[in-house]
Amino acid sequence: MKFAIITDIHGNGDALDAVLNDIDQRQDIEHIYNLGDNIGVGHKTNEVLETVLNRNDMTFIAGNHDEAIMAVANGEAYPESLKDKFYEHHQWIVEQLDKKYYSFLNNLKRESKTTIEGLNFYFTHYRILKEKMESHISDDPFEPLVEPSLEHVHGLFNGLDADFIAFGHNHVLHHFDDIETIYFNPGSVGLNNGAYAVYGLVEIKDGAINVERIKVPYDNQPFLDGFDEKNVPGKELIFESFI
């Protein structure tokens, strides 16, 4: 069996299209795990949601931006950790967001577990401790980011029993194997310092898990130009921090 992992699209519909086109052209990928942050930061909010919801081969996980945006949309408490960085930007996203997507975004799960050929797989946006799994996004349930090393990632997911743990949130590649568990984050689909998008490809064969990170070139200039064309709030911080 082969499946794909995508994460952190962040409103970049052009990068998403490039990745999905590459996945579909392979014709042997049976499922896609989408690990959250579909929207926020980028400006193609409704386009991204329409694209992913038109698929029938995708499992969805909630990202912190997805949840923070819906806190604004629902008139709920907003995370203090994001208030100085993204509150105005998230308000703008809500103004663009088609309300037909509210139910989908409000009902995203924070984790997914499955067993394939006797191997246990765990999918999440980033680690949330069991006691915080039901906490509101305003309580900052996601664990702080750790440096991409086996030691740090092993500590981050300590206590989870899985052969393979996939996550996103931190936009750089993580691929570590401590014999008992493979930890994998392919990096962000939509936010890279270059004209390429990334996703993960996982193959399970004869009891072994093989993992590959795929880089897909695309024309990122329309995405960059859109920030000025649409007067996206927070552009300076976004470009400095993510692009």
Distance CA 149, CA 132 (A): 24
pTM of the model: 0.96
Helix, strand, coil percent content, the chain, rounded in steps of 5: 35, 25, 40
Express as a percent the part of the chain with pLDDT over 90. Answer: 97
What's the pLDDT score for residue 71?
98
pLDDT at 67 (0 to 100): 98
User: If we measure between CA atoms, which residue out of 210, 214, 188, 189 comes closest to residue 200?
Assistant: 214
- Half-sphere exposure at residue 111, Cβ-oriented, CA atoms within 13 angstroms: 18
The residue to which tokens 């329309």 are assigned = 222
Give the span between the Cα atoms of 146 and 158, in whole angstroms: 13
Q: Which of 67, 37, 33 shows the shortest CA–CA distance to 49?
A: 37
**pLDDT tens by residue, 41-56:** 999 999 999 999 999 9
| Dist. CA 120–CA 77, nearest whole Å | 35
Q: Which of 134, 54, 59, 45 is nearest to 90 (CA)?
A: 45
List phi, psi (to 5°) of 157: -105, 20
Report the half-sphere exposure of 186 (CA within 13 A, side-chain side).
28
| Per-residue model confidence as pLDDT tens digits over 93-107 | 999 999 999 999 999
Catalogue all structural domains in the chain, each as residue range(s) with its CATH number: 2-242 (3.60.21.10)
Mean pLDDT value across residues 25-35? 97
Per-residue confidence (pLDDT) for residue 179, from 0 to 100: 86
Question: Which residue in 51, 2, 4 sits closest to 166, CA to CA?
Answer: 4
- Confidence label for 134 from pLDDT (cuts 50, 70 and 90): very high
| Distance between CA atoms of residues 182 and 157, nearest Å | 11
Mean pLDDT of 58-79: 98
- Mean pLDDT across the chain: 97
**pLDDT surpassing 90 at residue 39:** yes
What is the predicted pLDDT for the residue at 8? 98
User: What is the per-residue pLDDT for 193?
Assistant: 86
Can you tell me the mean pLDDT for 139-166?
Answer: 96
Residue 131 has a pLDDT of 97
Which residues have CB under 8 Å from 187's CB, separation 6+?
7, 8, 171, 172, 173, 198, 213
- Whether the pLDDT of residue 243 is over 90: the answer is no
pLDDT, tens digit, for every residue of 188-227?
999 998 999 999 999 999 999 999 999 999 999 999 999 9
For the segment 123-133, the average pLDDT, to the nearest whole number, is: 97
